[in-house]
């Protein structure tokens, strides 16, 4: 069954489009993500060695210390944070981080996007409407090309 539209609950409003980075494991920003570079550094984590910068980060729930809220904010301030976060279940640390960093955030998304979205899929989060959508190949190609042109112009 192909699923490309999802409905969830708005935690932090806003809209974002980007490539998905998906983890079936919880993520801890305190010690698990280098907020200066965006690299996931938690040893043994399925995303270890991958970069969250500009990605729609999809994972079940955050874990770790309350310091993680500020680290989410710091990653955005450093230009290496995610453009949106989608969780199965929100918890306070990730929610507060998204609020202060103004990162669009959804939770309670149905069907479970972890089962249908893959790393590298281009997705659109409209937290205001409570929706998540996998973009069509044409839309993804257009975004990918505009990202390449933007990088070449820098």
The total number of structural domains in the chain stands at 1
Q: Which residues are catalytic?
A: 65
**CATH code of the domain containing 32:** 3.50.30.10
pTM above 0.85, yes or no: yes
Q: Which residues form the domain of 15?
A: 5-153
Supply the DSSP string of the chain, one letter for each residue: ----EEEEEEEE--EEEEEEEE-SS-B-STTTB-TTT-BB--TT-TTTT-B-TT-EEEES-B-S-THHHHHHHHHHHTT-S-SEEEESS--HHHHHHHHHHT--EEEEEES-GGGT--TT-EEEEETTTTEEEEPPHHHHHHHHHHHHHHHHH-
Per-residue pLDDT band for 154 (boundaries 50, 70, 90) equals very low
Which pLDDT value is given to residue 148?
Answer: 61
Which pLDDT value is given to residue 146?
Answer: 72
| Residues 133-151 pLDDT 10s | 999 888 888 877 776 655 5
| Residues 1-48 pLDDT 10s | 789 999 999 999 999 999 999 999 999 999 999 999 999 999 999 999
| Residues 44-81 pLDDT 10s | 999 999 999 999 999 999 998 889 999 999 999 999 99
């Amino acid at each position: 069954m192909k699923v490309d539209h999802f409905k969830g609950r708005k935690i932090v409003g806003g809209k974002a489009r980007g490539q998905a980075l998906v983890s079936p494991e919880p993520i801890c920003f305190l010690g698990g993500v280098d907020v200066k570079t965006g690299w996931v550094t938690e040893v043994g984590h399925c995303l270890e060695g991958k970069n969250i910068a500009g990605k729609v980060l999809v994972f079940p729930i955050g874990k770790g210390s309350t310091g993680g809220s500020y680290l989410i904010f710091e990653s955005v301030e450093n230009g290496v944070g995610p453009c949106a976060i989608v969780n199965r279940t929100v918890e306070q640390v990730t929610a507060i981080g998204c609020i202060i960093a103004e990162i669009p955030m959804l939770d309670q998304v149905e069907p479970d996007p972890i089962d249908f979205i893959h790393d590298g899929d281009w997705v659109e989060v409209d937290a205001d409407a409570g929706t998540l959508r996998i973009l069509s190949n044409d839309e993804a190609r257009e975004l990918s090309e505009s990202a390449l042109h933007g990088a070449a112009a820098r």
